[in-house]
Copies of this chain bind each other. A is one copy, B any other.
Amino acid sequence: MLPDPALSSLRALLGDRVSVAGAVLAEHAQSESLVTGGPPDAVAFPRSTAEVAALAEWSTTHRVPLIGWGAGTSLEGHALALAGGVVVDFRDMAAMLEIRPEDRLVRVQPGITREALNQELRTTGLMFPVDPGANASLGGMAATRASGTTAVRYGTMRDNVQGLTVVLAGGRVIRTGTAAPKSSAGYDLTALFVGSEGTLGLITELTLTLHGQPEAVMTAVAAFPSVAAAVDCVIATMQMGPTPARIEFLDEATVAACNAFSHLTLPLAPQLLVEFHGHPAGLAEDVSRFRALAAEFGASGLDWAEKQEDRTRLWAARHSAYRAILASQPGAKAVVTDTCVPISALAEAVEETRTDIAGSGIPGPILGHVGDGNFHAILLVDPSKPEEAAIAKSLAHRMAERSLRLGGTITGEHGVGFGKLPLMAAEHGEGWQVMGAVKAALDPLNLMNPGKLVPGQP
């Protein structure tokens, strides 16, 4: 509860676009994951960069934290108010502001979701390819340095954000990047804010890189005799080229869940779901190369979906995998892990993880964007049995440690939030202290999403 005069001056800024209604606060205390936080003191719905700047000035005057909120799809509690504060919900800042087809750029507000953006772009021949599965907001995706199925070809948010408008603590506004495709003019502030999870400032505008919609698309699903064979096929594909637009791994348990949920009849075996984008001549060669490679690794049932409707069905099933796995055990909650290893260590990482999960007593189907070494286990726990949550947490912790031992990272795409804080020192060592120094320089009062990402948090 905000004391006066903080609340009254907040209302003076935004009027009825500040809410302290119980239902609104409760809605902004929810998260996709097991991670929970208390409700915020208030939720603000700004409409412009100037209003966000005024909020940041207010925040400094009254020493009240600000926490950004996009679509609420974060898996590590990024948008939760850990110790009160005002959630800044970008619901009313969700417009596409400008499209520049010649420069393959689009300027958007942070609240627009990736599906809404691609809907706006559909007649332009262009697309924004980064696809984390959830219909996340672009501001949230940038703040989390999200990626997903297409990163193997089109890169992550790191590669597809060209510029930002950011409101800093205290209300200063900066613009990073230019409309030119590259620059050597000083520190890469765009890259510093992408992945900063709202701890250095609030993103109020993004300039994003667009890509041409592919002229031709082919999707295949292939069943392999073993997890190792599927993973080795991925490694070989990535090393020999051509680079697929997506290359997704699903283990047997994931396939079973998808079959049941999405009414498919895929063979119950480890599968790769692969998509190539290109122009028709090149694509035919890509496809025939992959076909030969998959056969070498014992693939059967290599079906190519050339028709849009078959492709849509397959990818819809993949995108529903998380819900399908949840539905496979009614009432269960999921702990979604997220590690990313060097491709040479992928088979070892997946196999060790499967063995660890198999011995744990809880189910944990595995799937992932294996083209860039990134995979997830969806650990299912019965919320009425706290011991299962403890098992899941310790499995997740060992996955992260395994990833570090194999030269990888504790999070490929979900970010740190506060769920991964305990692992940051192990990944970065002294580098984590450097992150803390940067944070202290830009937000000395620790008002921007406190309790997340950097060291020394309560």
Q: Show the binding face of A for B, using Cβ within 8 Å.
A: 100-105, 144-147, 151, 156, 158-159, 168, 172-176, 178-189, 191-192, 194-196, 200, 212, 235, 239, 241-242, 278-279, 281-282, 284-285, 338, 340-344, 372-374, 403-404, 407-416, 420, 424, 427-432, 434-435, 437-438, 440-442, 453-454
B412 touches A184 (CB 8 A): yes
Q: Give 23 CB contacts A-B under 8 Å.
A: A145-B188, A158-B191, A174-B429, A174-B430, A174-B431, A176-B428, A178-B404, A178-B409, A180-B342, A180-B372, A181-B342, A182-B413, A186-B195, A186-B424, A188-B192, A188-B194, A189-B434, A241-B279, A242-B279, A279-B282, A281-B285, A434-B442, A438-B441
Cα–Cα distance between A340 and B162 once the two chains are bound (Å): 14
Provide the residues of chain B in CB contact with A173, threshold 8 Å.
Answer: 430
Cα–Cα distance between A168 and B430 once the two chains are bound (Å): 11
Provide the residues of chain B in CB contact with A156, threshold 8 Å.
Answer: 182
B185 touches A343 (CB 8 A): no
B432 touches A186 (CB 8 A): yes
Cα–Cα distance between A185 and B145 once the two chains are bound (Å): 9
Provide the residues of chain B in CB contact with A185, threshold 8 Å.
Answer: 409-411, 415-416, 420, 424, 427-428
B427 touches A184 (CB 8 A): no
A174 touches B344 (CB 8 A): no
A102 touches B282 (CB 8 A): no
Task: List 15 extra interface pairs beyond A174-B431, A178-B427, A186-B435, CB under 8 A.
Answer: A174-B428, A180-B374, A180-B403, A180-B408, A180-B409, A181-B342, A181-B372, A182-B412, A183-B412, A184-B195, A186-B453, A188-B195, A189-B428, A278-B282, A438-B441
Which 9 residue pairs are nearest across A and B when measured between Cβ atoms? A191-B191, A282-B282, A179-B407, A441-B441, A102-B344, A183-B409, A180-B408, A179-B342, A174-B431
Cα–Cα distance between A409 and B340 once the two chains are bound (Å): 34
A145 touches B184 (CB 8 A): yes
Cα–Cα distance between A431 and B192 once the two chains are bound (Å): 12
How distant is A165 from chain B, measured CB to nearest CB, in Å? Answer: 10
